[in-house]
Amino acid sequence: MKLLIHKEKRQIVDGREHIVGEELQYFITNLNRDVDTKYGRIAKEDLSKPNGSLLLTKDTGKEFILLEPTFIDLYKRLRKLPQTIPSKDIGLIIAETGINKESTIVDSGLGSGALACALAHIAKHVTSYEIREDHLAVSQENIKLLSITNITAKHKNIYDGIDEKNVDLITFDLPEPWKAVVHAANALLVGGWLVSYSPSIIQANDFATEATKDERLMTVKTVEIIERLWETEGRKVRPKSTGIGHSGFLTFVRKVRA
């Protein structure tokens, strides 16, 4: 697999040309044929050139950069059915819970598998519960695209219980997360985290209220991360008029007693 990036948007900084911003990208899965782009044809022989090579389209001489796609390039191409958690929210889950390559995680619902994949990329193992077969099928495609081998997908209703024990982190992206609080409290090790993501503050509040009733759990905080994109081109420095609006609320709960 290769990634072709069209190099058109440029900026001169200190007399040198730099590429800025997100560019038009082509993912190439078949390296045995020429690639037709919006700007002309790239010869298949060029696709075996070293990472970072500058390629020219045959007919129009337009410039493309050839890259080996990394995890994040592939991650951005995941099929999103159903809707996934944005990176800004995933980042906070990772930063606040301190998970690492020793961590075991339970997640639900698996959905498109985006959160499970992002967590599996840095943790030891992720088990994810999902009730819908069609969503399980989409998540399997996504897990395969990323070549992830440390996710176990379970076709199971998480409101009926969590089989795993001594879990470091449990993540919920569920319509009624409060129904699985007691199961999470049973499954977590002391010191472990339960994080619930909900688009509505009513859901987040009902979840926090349920968690607060369990004396093994400490309800730490509910937060919303607001990401504002800026344009930084020459002297045009201002907030972009487009960007992610509201995504969801994250409620952080910690197991503090056995």
Ligand X SMILES: C[S@@+](CC[C@H](N)C(=O)[O-])C[C@H]1O[C@@H](n2cnc3c(N)ncnc32)[C@H](O)[C@@H]1O
Contacts 24+ apart (CB under 8 A), 203-210: 203/175, 203/176, 203/177, 203/249, 204/249, 204/251, 206/176, 206/178, 207/172, 207/177, 207/178, 207/181, 207/251, 208/251, 208/253, 209/178, 210/178, 210/181
Residue with the shortest CB distance to ligand X: 109
Which of 5, 131, 145, 223 is in the footprint of ligand X by CB under 6 A?
Answer: 131
Are 172 and 197 within 8 A, CB to CB? yes
239 binds ligand X (CB under 6 A): no
177 binds ligand X (CB under 6 A): no
74 binds ligand X (CB under 6 A): no
115 binds ligand X (CB under 6 A): yes
175 binds ligand X (CB under 6 A): yes
Which of 57, 109, 182, 211 is in the footprint of ligand X by CB under 6 A?
Answer: 109
Q: Minimal distance in Å, beta carbon 188 to ligand X?
A: 18
Classify strands 2-6 and 54-56 as parallel, antiparallel or unpaired: unpaired
173 binds ligand X (CB under 6 A): yes
Instruction: Label residue 138 exposed, middle or buried (CB < 10 Å: 0-12, 13-18, 19+).
Output: buried
Which of 85, 153, 162, 250 is in the footprint of ligand X by CB under 6 A?
Answer: 85
Q: Minimal distance in Å, beta carbon 196 to ligand X?
A: 11
The window from 3-11, 48-56, 103-111, 210-218 that contacts ligand X (CB under 6 A) reads 103-111
Q: How far is CA 4 from CA 35, 76, 117, 243, in A?
A: 10, 15, 24, 24
Site for ligand X in 133-172 (CB under 6 A): 135, 157-159
30 binds ligand X (CB under 6 A): no
91 binds ligand X (CB under 6 A): no
86 binds ligand X (CB under 6 A): no
Instruction: Label residue 40 exposed, middle or buried (CB < 10 Å: 0-12, 13-18, 19+).
Output: middle
248 binds ligand X (CB under 6 A): no
174 binds ligand X (CB under 6 A): yes
Instruction: Label residue 52 exposed, middle or buried (CB < 10 Å: 0-12, 13-18, 19+).
Output: exposed
With tokens 């952080």, the residue in question is 252
Is 40 in a helix, a strand, or coil?
Answer: strand
129 binds ligand X (CB under 6 A): yes
83 binds ligand X (CB under 6 A): yes
The window from 9-17, 106-114, 143-151, 234-242 that contacts ligand X (CB under 6 A) reads 106-114
The window from 38-46, 64-72, 126-134, 229-237 that contacts ligand X (CB under 6 A) reads 126-134
Nearest to 231 by CA among 222, 240, 242, 218: 240
Residue 236's CB is within 10 A of a number of other CB atoms, namely 8
Binding site residues, ligand X, CB under 6 A: 82-85, 108-109, 111-115, 129-132, 135, 157-159, 173-175
